[in-house]
Structure 1
Amino acid sequence: MDRTSASRMEAACSLLAESERRYLLYLLAEDRGANIEEFISQVAAWELDEPAGTIEKETRQRIYVSLVHNHLPRLADYDIIEYDLRSGDIVLDDGFDDIKPLLEQFRQTEEVPEIRQRPAL
Structure 2
Amino acid sequence: MNDANATRMEAACSLLAESERRYLLYQLAEHRETNLEDVVAQIAAWEYDVRPSHIDKETRQRLYVSLVHNHLPRLEDYGIIEYDLRSGDVVLANGFDDIKPLLEQFKQTEEDPEIRQLPSL
User: What TM-score bracket applies, with the shorter chain setting the length?
Assistant: over 0.9
- Give the distance between the partners of 1:27 and 1:114, measured in 2 at CA: 12
Residue in 2 that maps onto 1:50: 50
Query: 5+ residue gaps in structure 1?
Result: none
1:5 aligns with 2:2: no
Residue in 1 that maps onto 2:27: 27
Which stretch shows the higher mean deviation, 12-21 or 31-40?
31-40
Deviation at 1:119, TM superposition (A): 1.1
Deviations 1:63-83 (A, max 9, x none): 000000000000000000000
Q: What's the TM-score, normalizing by structure 2?
A: 0.99
RMSD: 0.4
Residue in 2 that maps onto 1:69: 69
Q: Which amino acid aligns with 1:104?
A: E
Query: 5+ residue gaps in structure 2?
Result: none
Residue in 2 that maps onto 1:100: 100
Deviation at 1:38, TM superposition (A): 1.1
Q: SS of 1:83's equivalent?
A: strand
Q: SS of 1:107's equivalent?
A: helix
Counting matched residue pairs gives 121
Identity of aligned pairs, percent? 74
- Give the distance between the partners of 2:109 and 2:3, measured in 1 at CA: 28
Q: What's the TM-score, normalizing by structure 1?
A: 0.99
